[in-house]
Amino acid sequence: MKVKFAPSLMCMDLMNVQNQIGILDQYADYYHIDIMDGHFVKNLSLSLDFVKRLKLITNIPLDCHLMASNPEMYVDQLIEIGADFISLHAETISGQAFRLIERIKQADIKFGVVLNPETDLHAISSYLHLVDILTIMSVDPGFAGQKFIVESIDKVRLASSLKADKQYSYEIAVDGGCNKKTYKILRQAGAECFIVGSSGLFGLHENLNLAYELMLREY
């Protein structure tokens, strides 16, 4: 199966959004959009309003990675804006997971779950059969350009064998430090989608067309 690439838009040139989206639209499988609350992670990045405006200029599916301590505060807005995937952190939905999943699925939107590097797959075993995209963080969430955490490779491997054993339908995505140093080992472990940020895509060349070509060549 062909591997997918999801550019992480917090790493794009934000002074040049329309132009960059025009280029990325030719290649991207999804757009990965980091939305932070400054509490669950100590940073802020893209906003709900950004997603709303982006939706007007692209048809590429938008995967909204919500890093917020109270995700229930934002889910309705994300549904209304027309996010294609709503990806919530397992660490933030305990006690309300099934309620949120139902709300998302009823709106005909795909449900994603994201695991911090230290969170075990067992934490989400009760609802894994409902997951459309499983994102394994390979850096601590919140900041681009961090060092890849090698321990996440085993988690990708485990997610992949579990998927095969139980016939789950989730797609396995990796977020953080996906680049030429890590593609191969992650692919072998079972990664199906790479979220590419600074080292994987945007930092490769100032010309984004060339950066994308370089990325595909490095892969």
Q: What are the residue numbers of the active site?
A: 34, 175
Question: Taking Cα atoms as reference points, which of 88, 79, 131, 85 lies closest to residue 110?
Answer: 85
- 64 and 85 Cβ atoms separated by less than 8 Å: yes
197 binds, among ligand DX5, Zn ion, none (CB under 5 to 8 A by kind): ligand DX5
Residues 88-127 that bind ligand DX5 (CB under 6 A): none
> Which residue has its beta carbon closest to ligand DX5?
197
Identified binder of ligand DX5 from the candidate list 61, 82, 117, 142, rule CB under 6 A: 142
- The nearer residue to ligand DX5, 112 or 176, going by C-beta atoms, is 176
For residues 22-61, which are near ligand DX5 according to CB under 6 A? 32, 34
Size of the site for ligand DX5 (CB under 6 A): 22
Q: Which stretch binds Zn ion (CB under 5 A): 26-34, 40-48, 74-82, 153-161?
A: 26-34
34, 84, 132, 171: which one contacts Zn ion (CB under 5 A)? Answer: 34
Pairing outcome for strands 62-67 and 133-137: unpaired
Range in contact with Zn ion (rule: CB under 5 A) among 29-37, 148-156, 177-185, 199-207: 29-37
The count of C-alpha atoms lying within 13 angstroms of the C-alpha of 140, restricted to the half-sphere facing its C-beta, is 4
List interacting residues with ligand DX5 (CB under 6 A).
8, 10-11, 32, 34, 65, 139, 141-142, 144-146, 175-178, 195-200
List interacting residues with Zn ion (CB under 5 A).
34, 65, 175
